[in-house]
Structure 1
Amino acid sequence: MQQPLSPSGPTGASGASTRPKATRAQFLACDDRDMLRAARDLTRDLATARGEIYWLDLIASAGIGYGAMAGAILVSSVPLAVLLGLVSALALYRALMFIHELTHVHRDALPGFRLGWNALVGVPLLTPSFMYEGVHTLHHKRTQYGTVEDPEYLPLALMKPWSLPLFVLIALLAPVALLFRFAVLVPLGAILPPVRRMVWQRFSALSINPQFRRRPPEGEMRSRVFWQETCGAVWAWVLIGSMFALGWRPILIALAVVSFTATLNQLRTLVAHLWENEGEPMTVTAQFLDSVNVPPPGPIAEIWAPVGLRYHALHHLMPSMPYHSLPEAHRRLSDHLGLESTYQGANHPGLVVLVGRIARSTMGRGRG
């Protein structure tokens, strides 16, 4: 096994590293303890979630999203409707991504935020927080990341070429599938326990691993699931009933907006990791290097990876760090560890480069 790269070292005349980036394979057996120690020590003062930032960001994103959707429904100009629909999709995408924060921020840090998020975003988009809570944390477990027990991991870089477009495009069907789940399967499951068990195990988690089966909810989660599913089922039938009162146009536009949002999130998921693990347990450093940061410069990543998700690898080092603190944490670690550090191995230039990397890997598998 190669030795871990040092926190500092020689650079080229331009200041760029003269060594290749650290790779996951270098750290399958041991961690870079200097990096882990720096991540802990340099960011302690950044760990407090600021409620005013969360609430303002959420309300603004949801307000713009629903306002633009209403505009897309009401205007007669097709180009303007498309433009407003795009704005709506991007704003609601940002609002939706706060579900990721809900799973990590301590429940007492943001009083009322879970309820507010579910009322504004989770239930209206038929993606209440129970579909992520208790699921996403499994993805962060030291012994489960990248294994068959990880609900959010597939070795996509090691699969066949056709798997990538299928992985992204299947998200187009997400709004219809969610509508069917809440409008049909939830009421049916209330009557038929076998249906209820099947729906819970297989269709109640935002997972990408087809082998994942969710365990029954326990404790306070049971009550939370009941109320969120009940509200979701009622809202699903309100949406269906709206077709008779308002016609097809509003719900078709809403479904199109949410479909675009789901597809964009699936594309982000495609490049959130390098997907190069074949199922073995990994060190924290190896997990970090199998994950992706897309740091500045450039504002584009903030659009397709909002709410701190452009620092996804850093998030795997510090899962509880609030999203608004990640840019400063990244700056501190980059300055302290330097261009020759392991930390730089998780930094990547952008979406297109990452998609190309995974595509080349699958093409190699296709020829094999």
Structure 2
Amino acid sequence: MTLPELAHPNAAPPLDDTRDDRRMLRVAAAVVRDLSTPRASVYWPDLLISTGVGYTALAGAISFDTVSLALASGLVAILALYRAASFIHELSHLRKGALPGFRFAWNALIGIPLMIPSFLYEGVHTQHHARTRYGTAEDPEYLSLALMKPWSLPLFVMSAALAPLALIVRFGVLTPMGVAIPPLRKIVQERCSALSINPAYRRSAPHGAFRRQWQLQEACACLWALMLAASVVMIGTRPLLTYLAVHSGLTVLNQLRTLVAHLWENDGEVMSVTEQYLDSVNVPPPNWLAPIWAPLGLRYHALHHLLPSLPYHSLGTAHRRIMAQIVEPSAYRKANHSGMLPLIARIARGTASER
């Protein structure tokens, strides 16, 4: 692994070496040479178990008449399906052919049933890692939240609760309308076809094999959205309402994780690799809640920005190795934080100072 890969597999070297902790970058590249291969023996059982537990619990939430059992099942469904859904992040970084069949299986089991097919993220998330895009107006996954008004934080989190309804409209209404109305199709492709948080982001048209993949996934998601709407007539409202509640729960949880994945303190300037790292967040052990709200290694989000090609099961080992090798002064430890609540408080203090 070479130093340019620390920012992005195809990134240029840092623009200004004086702004980078060069020793940290060298150590990070050196200690993970044996950790870069995704292990099918980890990915497949994790996905299948999480999916199985999630759908079993969802069925329980729908069928249990006892409120406490239904709520408990709903909570389990939220956590398990949230973990399974988080594999979309891994898909955006997996090299072609690394895990044969995994992308198809994830879309069939999770992407289509939750109306988040992988085309919504693939080709989008990698732009967030691009060396000269991170934290700028061209970054689809960045907002300067810490520099915005105080009301922006609760709005950012709670708006996610409406995502399931928005996805039904996106695929069940806008997709078929776009087939009949080409100008609408272009608007939907540019503005409603990416899991992004930057409202100014506009997505480019897909090409080649990815275009065909996009079209197939979108067609399947459209059929699923229409089936969900029709289910009210066929089997009543409870299954759909429970599905929407669980979907909203996992989406809000993911939005909370997104809120504390970065410090959101950049004002649009191009940042060095180290500056991008310090604007990102690790929540390492001993925090025991982090694997729940930041599954699949997402608790090491700052480390992920240094080493985006590392599979999720290698991030904990990589973190321990780097911590053992790094001595002060170093930027590495400065991205380690104690938990979600202190991070939310820090970001909220930033918004308060912007009044």
TM-score range, shorter chain: over 0.9
Deviation of 1:178 after TM superposition, in Å, equals 0.1
Gaps in structure 1 of 5+ consecutive residues: 1-26
Mapping 1:170-189, distance limit 5 Å: 170-189=159-178
Deviations 1:257-296 (A, max 9, x none): 0001000100100000000000000011100000000000
Aligned counterpart, 2:47:
58
Q: State the one-letter code of the partner of 1:229.
A: E
Aligned counterpart, 2:247:
258
Q: State the one-letter code of the partner of 2:274.
A: T
Which is worse superposed, 341-350 or 331-340? 331-340
Deviations 1:210-253 (A, max 9, x none): 10000000121100001000000011111111111110000000
- TM-score normalised per structure 1: 0.91
Mapped pair 1:164 → 2:164:
no
**Larger relative contact order (CA 8 Å, sep ≥ 6):** 1
CA distance in 1, matches of 2:312, 2:111: 19
Match among 151, 170, 189 for residue 200 of structure 1: 189
Aligned counterpart, 2:12:
none
Q: State the one-letter code of the partner of 1:85.
A: G
Q: How high is the sequence identity, in percent, across the aligned residues? A: 59
Aligned counterpart, 2:5:
none
Deviation of 1:147 after TM superposition, in Å, equals 0.1
Contact 1:172–1:263 (8 Å) recurs in 2: yes
CA distance in 1, matches of 2:205, 2:253: 30
Aligned counterpart, 1:227:
216
CA distance in 1, matches of 2:64, 2:185: 41
CA distance in 2, matches of 1:77, 1:275: 43
Match among 233, 258, 277 for residue 266 of structure 2: 277
Aligned counterpart, 2:29:
40
CA distance in 1, matches of 2:200, 2:226: 30
Q: State the one-letter code of the partner of 1:100.
A: H
Deviation of 1:205 after TM superposition, in Å, equals 0.2
Q: State the one-letter code of the partner of 1:44.
A: R
Question: Any idea what SS the aligned residue of 1:46 has?
Answer: coil
Aligned counterpart, 1:6:
none
CA distance in 2, matches of 1:85, 1:158: 36
Match among 74, 82, 95 for residue 93 of structure 1: 82
Q: State the one-letter code of the partner of 2:313.
A: H
Bigger-Rg structure (1/2) = 1
Count of paired positions? 340
Gaps in structure 2 of 5+ consecutive residues: 1-15
Deviation of 1:338 after TM superposition, in Å, equals 3.2
Aligned counterpart, 1:21:
none
Contact 1:28–1:282 (8 Å) recurs in 2: no
Question: Any idea what SS the aligned residue of 1:365 has?
Answer: coil
Cα RMSD of the aligned pairs, angstroms, is 1.0
Mapped pair 1:122 → 2:81:
no
Match among 193, 213, 225 for residue 236 of structure 1: 225
Mapped pair 1:353 → 2:342:
yes
Q: State the one-letter code of the partner of 2:86.
A: M
